[in-house]
Amino acid sequence: MRDQDIQSASDFLTTLWREGCHAAAMPDELRPATRAEAYEVQARVERLSSRPLAGWKIAATSLAGQKHINVSGPMAGRLLAERIVPLGETVRLGANRMLVAEVEFVFRMGTTLPPRGAPYEQDEVLAAVEALHLGIEVPDSRYLVFERAGEQQIIADNACADQFVLGPEVQADWRRVDLAAHEVRGVSSRGPVHEGRGANVLGGPLIALTWLANELSSVGVPLQRGQIVTTGTCCVPVPVLPGDVVTGDYGSLGAMQVAFGP
């Protein structure tokens, strides 16, 4: 894609985002043909923010999720600082069409992992982590039927990133915990309880984090010190409507609540 086409593709998507509108698809002439091109389109979303990039999300971290949206594997998306909702504040759903809350493990990086030729191993990625947090993602898509958009269009659309609530830092010695086996629950104030575990995200949150470091490296992007990485939903996403409260229950690692408004 030419630079002007990348910019035009980004403008198309970000205009929808700012105006709370949706489209069936990107115009044919602006659709990226590869994952690398899609990430180039996605990168332009950072110009909407006046602050440093807050971090990253990982989408489609389960085989069921990948099958549901017809993609070949996980995808990275950018978390803008302005879309981070402080813990304790109400998440305004606005034009959100996905209407789900995703209960996730979140890592905060203490060391930058720059792009390089050799893949990062899990042990060295873990060594670069400063802290583990709880988190609830509130994703959205600019497509009317995102399940049919396909891999490149979803990546270009920031991998369905939208709002995110960073929960408390885990105070327990989480490095000694098997996060893959750890049970997590998403509980709705309307009654439904969704149960899962860390293994539902690519086999484990640390596996997902390592994937993210290598995915960014492959497109020449560093995983920066201070950035957060939310690794994907540990249980089936919890449906939300205005007035709902969702609790992310991580057992011995803590809990968090998020209220939703119109």
pLDDT for 52 equals: 97
How many residues does the structure list for the chain?
262
Q: How many domains is the chain partitioned into structurally?
A: 1
Q: Write the CATH number for 238.
A: 3.90.850.10
CB 213 within 8 A of CB 223: yes
Over the chain (262 residues), what is each successive 10-residue block's mean pLDDT? Answer: 97 95 97 97 96 97 87 96 98 97 98 98 98 98 95 98 98 98 98 96 98 98 98 97 98 98 97
Q: Are 80 and 54 in contact (CB under 8 A)?
A: yes
* Half-sphere CA count of 155, side-chain side, radius 13 A: 26
Residue 151 is predicted with a pLDDT of 96
Q: The pTM is what?
A: 0.97
- The two structure tokens encoding residue 44: 């332009």
Give the whole-angstrom CA distance, residue 111 versus residue 208.
Answer: 17
SS3 89: coil
Place of tokens 């409507």: 241
Contacts for 94 with CB less than 8 Å, ≥ 6 apart: 20, 262
DSSP E strands in the chain: the ranges are 55-59, 75-79, 84-85, 91-92, 100-109, 129-138, 163-169, 183-188, 193-197, 228-233, 238-239, 245-249, 255-261
Other C-beta atoms lying within 10 Å of the C-beta of residue 66 = 17
Sequence-ordered list of residues with C-beta below 8 angstroms from that of 50, at least 6 positions apart, any chain = 82
Residue 206: what pLDDT?
Answer: 98
- Domain containing 165 equals 3-261
Query: Which residue has 């069409």 as its token pair?
Result: 97
**Predicted pLDDT at 27:** 97
- Residue 32: per-residue pLDDT: 98
C-alpha to C-alpha distance for 146 and 164, rounded to whole angstroms? 19
Supply the angle between the helices 35-43 and 3-19 in degrees, to the nearest 10. Answer: 60
Strand partners, 193: 187
Predicted local distance difference test score (pLDDT) of residue 152: 97
